[in-house]
Structure 1
Amino acid sequence: VRACLRGCLLCPSRLSCSPLLVMGPRMPTAALPCLSLILLLWSQLPGAQGQEFRFGSCRVKGVALQELWKAFWAVKDTVQAQDNVTSVRLLRREVLQDISDAESCHLIHALLKFYLNTVFKNYHKKIVEFRTTVKSFSTLANSFLVIKSQLQPSEENEMSSIRESAHRRFLLVQRAFKQLDIEAALTKAFGEVDILLSWMEKFYQP
């Protein structure tokens, strides 16, 4: 179990370990048992049972929202103090406002994939400089991984308009991100996790 976890999780005690979330779009078959173990252990955490996210027909169980908030609050001041581009916002009102339940599953899937594969993957090198924040960073990254792994957006043809609408919203985030210097963009994105959590909270059933 310990060996599996060392290969899957961001390890605050081993800053050089390779997290599962940075393996790229195609997850190796050998990593799948590790992901299953993460999901199992996560569901046993205190306060996690009986709580779920409901993004339309997509259900996510075993994640305690208060733990995500706690982890972000621990790094908020450190990260947001590094954000010097105050005139830009990635998660704008046009991205998160007036979203249908069906659309929410597609959008959160795209956003979490973006945070895992782009933001957390690359910002990990930066967060290591602030050693007191590594544990909280790991909690957020692994929580996002658990949530994304349970999302199953519908691929039905009649849902194409919903997928396209969610994709257009996500493109607003991606384009704004690419317009910034990469270091500034990563800091901006990570500093806006509180905006993302506030939106996710609307779909949370304690």
Structure 2
Amino acid sequence: WTVKDTVQAKDNITSVRLLRKEVLQDVSDAESCYLIRALLKFYLNTVFKNYLDEAADVRIRRSFSTLANNFFVIASKLQPSQEDEMFSISESARRRFLLFQRAFKQLDIQAAQTKAFGEVDILLTWME
């Protein structure tokens, strides 16, 4: 079993998707920098930080740590522009991120963390 299979097998809420098309579809290149950074920081501060014990329980801690470290490296290298004309782009990315965050908060915290970690493959595919 892969990490993805292990985590997704624990996801009992199949009717909800956090990284849905309204969040990830038709994102401009400029907007993607802001959105990726926001999503990676959220994953680092909310998902990885709180899912560590669960990862140890299902014996995926090493892969989990590697993934978290890679997210940290990518997030630290993304420095969105501070120019005024970028404001509308950053606002659009913020609205997309808030859709994701609202969906996360509507679930029980354990279920939300499992779902978010189970959707890492969607995030990585989209980031490519």
What is the correspondence of 1:2-21 to structure 2 with a 5 Å cutoff? none
Structure with the higher strand share, 1 or 2: 1
Residue of structure 2 equivalent to 1:182: 109
Size of the alignment, in residue pairs? 128
Tell me which amino acid in the other structure corresponds to 2:21: R
Give the whole-Å Cα distance in 2 for the aligned partners of 1:97 and 1:175: 17
Displacement of 1:101: 0.7
Alpha-carbon shift at residue 125 of structure 1 (Å): 1.4
1:24-82, Cα deviation, whole Å (9 max, x unpaired): xxxxxxxxxxxxxxxxxxxxxxxxxxxxxxxxxxxxxxxxxxxxxxxxx8311110000
Larger RCO (CA within 8 A; separation ≥ 6): 2
Measure how far apart 1:113 and its partner are: 0.3
One-letter amino acid matched to 2:106: Q
Query: Which AA in structure 2 matches 1:79?
Result: V
**Corresponding position of 1:134:** 61
Unpaired runs of 5+ residues, structure 1, are 1-72, 202-206
Residue of structure 1 in register with 2:10 after alignment? 82
Q: 2:52 & 2:90 partners in 1: Cα distance?
A: 30
Q: Which residue of 1 aligns with 2:95?
A: 168
Query: Does 1:111 find its partner at 2:39?
Result: yes
Q: Deviations over 1:60-111 (max 9, x none)?
A: xxxxxxxxxxxxx831111000000011000000111111110010000000
* Cα offset, 1:148, TM superposition: 0.5
In structure 2, the residue matched to 1:93 is: 21
Of 147, 151, 155, 2:74 maps to 147
CA distance in 1: counterparts of 2:70 and 2:21, whole angstroms? 24
What TM-score does the superposition give when structure 1 sets the normalisation length? 0.61
After superposition, the CA RMSD in angstroms is 0.9
State the distance in 1 between where 2:12 and 2:91 align: 33
Looking at structure 2, the residues matched to 82 and 74 of structure 1 have their Cα atoms a distance apart, in angstroms, of 13
Secondary structure at 2:36 match in 1: helix
Is 1:74–1:136's contact at 8 Å kept on the other side of the alignment?
no
Runs of 4+ in 1 over 2 A off after TM superposition: none
* Contact kept? 1:83, 1:184, Cα under 8 Å: yes
Shift of 1:146: 0.5
**Higher Rg:** 1
Question: What amino acid does structure 1 have at the position aligned with 2:100?
Answer: V
Matches within 5 A, 1:48-67: none
**Identical residues among aligned pairs (%):** 77
Q: Please tell me the residue identity of whatever aligns with 1:184.
A: A
After superposition, where does 1:19-38 map in structure 2 within 5 Å? none
